[in-house]
């Protein structure tokens, strides 16, 4: 409601207090705590009058003033590589929802995966006095996290993990293993991986899970069959071109650690006259809403993106409450579709 007084100002505690002829602190105590502190602070009758008036005048506390006094803003800062990455956008929706449930609001900023920008945005968040940070763009090789920890900034990681820090992620290793099992069982023996950016644990873990399981099954993966790439469509296309140019014999299956890269790869295959889901199998990761809707539906590892976001919020809340936290790895599920649903013979 957020009403204003006759003269246009927003309603304050003092307004309520003077209208009822009681002291602002009493009003604060009544409105502040559900009932615990209120009990003992005022009579039931007064409490009711206060609450009634607050509702009537549409009082809403000023978070600036409260924050100034209490030194907490009830704000969580979220840093992601880019919100136009569907995966991060969905995680953010989970965050937004879970944070609202806990009475927190969230700030998001894009770092474009640029270390310089990560620093700037982090500082910008801290200048805004966020209570804590959810970092969705952690690089495995960056010192930023150590610094933050040294400065005792409360934070948790999301999406990507870094050993030694609490994080909410998908079990990416397992995801890679699921794909290895699937492709192996469909008869593929000659595969390649579009591996993503080597600074991101998502890329590294998915690739490692796949490669290690593949070898455990008795398969071989030559060094040049693992191609690091950007996470977007163009990156996937380029990686696929590289694979087609250098791998001999040509792989019968591609695992891209990201749906967008997979879509790019499908485009490249098609340009080379290869039938996706017939000549070459393609499997992506994340099962974004597009995967199932593509002209040739894309097999993909479904990661619980909303839950990852929600979990990150819960972890950060625990950190803010000074409790112990442990990293959470949520289980993915493989969704097999037309793009890899054919048996090939050795």
Q: Please, which residue, 151 or 223, has the CB nearer to DNA?
A: 151
Using CB under 8 A as the binding rule, whether residue 93 contacts a copy of itself is answered as: yes
Binding site for DNA (CB under 7 A): 9-10, 12-14, 21-26, 28-29, 31-32, 40-46, 59, 61-62, 65-66, 68-71
Using CB under 8 A as the binding rule, whether residue 187 contacts a copy of itself is answered as: no
Q: Please, which residue, 61 or 187, has the CB nearer to a copy of itself?
A: 61
Using CB under 8 A as the binding rule, whether residue 208 contacts a copy of itself is answered as: no
DSSP 3-state assignment of 50? Answer: helix
C-alpha–C-alpha distance, residues 346 and 344, integer Å? 7
Using CB under 8 A as the binding rule, whether residue 237 contacts a copy of itself is answered as: yes
Which segment (58-66, 180-188, 217-225, 324-332) binds a copy of itself by CB under 8 A?
58-66
Q: Which of 90, 133, 281, 283 binds a copy of itself (CB under 8 A)?
A: 90
Structure tokens at 55: 């509702």
Q: Please, which residue, 211 or 283, has the CB nearer to a copy of itself?
A: 283
CA within 13 Å, CB half, 42: 24
Using CB under 8 A as the binding rule, whether residue 14 contacts a copy of itself is answered as: no
Helix (H) or strand (E) holding 145: helix 144-150
Helix (H) or strand (E) holding 193: strand 191-196
For residue 74, the minimal CB distance to DNA (Å) is 10
Q: What is the DSSP string of 55-111?
A: HHHT----HHHHHHHHS---EEEEEES-TTSHHHHHHHHHHHHHHHHTT-EEEEEE-
Using CB under 8 A as the binding rule, whether residue 233 contacts a copy of itself is answered as: yes
Any residues with CB less than 8 A from the CB of 234 and at least 6 apart, and which? Answer: 264
Nearest by Cα to 205 from 233, 187, 243, 179: 179
Q: Which does 28 bind (CB under 5 to 8 A by kind): a copy of itself, DNA, none?
A: DNA
Q: Which of 37, 100, 149, 245 binds a copy of itself (CB under 8 A)?
A: 100
Q: Are 313 and 157 in contact (CB under 8 A)?
A: no
Q: Which of 151, 223, 323, 346 binds a copy of itself (CB under 8 A)?
A: 151
C-alpha–C-alpha distance, residues 327 and 166, integer Å? 5
Q: Are 130 and 77 in contact (CB under 8 A)?
A: yes
Nearest by Cα to 131 from 157, 160, 155, 95: 155
Using CB under 8 A as the binding rule, whether residue 92 contacts a copy of itself is answered as: yes
Using CB under 8 A as the binding rule, whether residue 144 contacts a copy of itself is answered as: no
User: End-to-end alpha-carbon separation of the chain, Å?
Assistant: 68
For residue 344, the minimal CB distance to a copy of itself (Å) is 21
Using CB under 8 A as the binding rule, whether residue 267 contacts a copy of itself is answered as: yes
Site for a copy of itself in 275-334 (CB under 8 A): 276, 289-290, 293-296
Q: Which residues bind a copy of itself (CB under 8 A)?
A: 1-2, 4, 8, 60-65, 67-68, 73, 82-84, 86, 89-90, 92-93, 96, 100, 105-110, 123-124, 126-129, 151-152, 232-234, 237, 263-264, 266-267, 270, 276, 289-290, 293-296
């Amino acid at each position: 409601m957020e009403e204003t007084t006759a003269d246009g100002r927003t309603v304050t505690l003092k307004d309520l207090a003077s209208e009822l002829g009681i002291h602002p602190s009493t009003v604060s105590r009544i409105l502040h705590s559900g009932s615990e502190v209120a009990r003992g602070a005022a009579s039931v009758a007064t409490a009711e009058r206060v609450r009634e008036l607050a509702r009537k005048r549409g009082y809403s506390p000023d978070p600036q003033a409260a924050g100034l006094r209490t030194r907490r803003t009830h704000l969580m800062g979220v840093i992601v590589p880019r919100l136009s990455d569907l995966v991060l956008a969905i995680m953010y929706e989970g965050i937004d929802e879970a944070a609202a449930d806990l009475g927190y609001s969230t700030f998001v900023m894009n770092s474009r995966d640029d270390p310089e920008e990560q620093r700037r945005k982090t500082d910008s968040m801290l200048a805004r006095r966020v209570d804590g940070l959810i970092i969705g763009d952690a690089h495995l090789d960056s010192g930023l996290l150590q610094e933050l920890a040294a400065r005792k900034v409360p934070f948790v990681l999301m999406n990507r993990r870094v050993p030694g820090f609490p994080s909410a992620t998908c079990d990416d290793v397992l995801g890679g293993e699921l794909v290895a099992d699937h492709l192996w069982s469909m008869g593929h023996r000659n595969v390649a991986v579009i591996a993503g950016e080597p600074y991101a644990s998502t890329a590294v873990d998915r690739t490692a899970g796949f490669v290690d399981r593949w070898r455990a099954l008795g398969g071989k993966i030559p060094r040049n069959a693992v191609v690091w790439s950007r996470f977007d469509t163009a990156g996937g296309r380029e990686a696929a071109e590289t694979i087609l140019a250098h791998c001999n014999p040509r792989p019968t299956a591609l695992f891209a650690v990201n749906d967008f890269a997979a879509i790019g790869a499908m485009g490249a295959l098609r340009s080379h006259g290869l039938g996706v889901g017939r000549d070459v199998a393609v499997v992506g990761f994340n099962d974004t809403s597009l995967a199932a809707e593509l002209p040739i539906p894309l097999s993909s590892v479904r990661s619980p993106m909303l839950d990852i976001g929600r979990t990150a919020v819960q972890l950060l809340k625990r950190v803010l409450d000074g409790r112990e936290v442990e990293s959470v790895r949520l289980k993915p599920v493989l969704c097999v579709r037309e793009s890899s649903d054919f048996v090939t013979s050795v």
